[in-house]
Chain A
Amino acid sequence: MQTDLLISLPFIFFLSIVVGLILYLVGGIFGAKGEKTEGKVAPYACGENLPARKLQVDVERFLIYAVYFLVFDILAFILATSLNTPGHFPAIYALIVLMAVVILLPFLRRG
Chain B
Amino acid sequence: MKIPRLTTVFVSLFFFFAILSCQQGERQQATDLLSDSLIEADVRLDDKMIREMISSIPNPVEMSALLQKSGIVYSQDLLNPVNNINNYNTNFKKALNLGVYGTDLVYMNIYDRTISTLRYLSNVRDLASDLRVEQFFDYETLNRLSESSRNIDSVLFITNTGFDDMSRYLIDQNRGNISVLISYGTWIESLYIATNVQTVPPKSETIHTRLGEQKKILDNMILLLYTYRNDPYFQNLIDDLMELKVIFDDVSITYVYAEPTIQEVDGTVILVDNSSSEVNISEETVEAITQQVSYIRNKMVE
- Check if A and B associate: no
| B interface with A by C-beta (< 8 Å) | none
Q: Which residues of A are in contact with B by a Cβ distance under 8 Å?
A: none
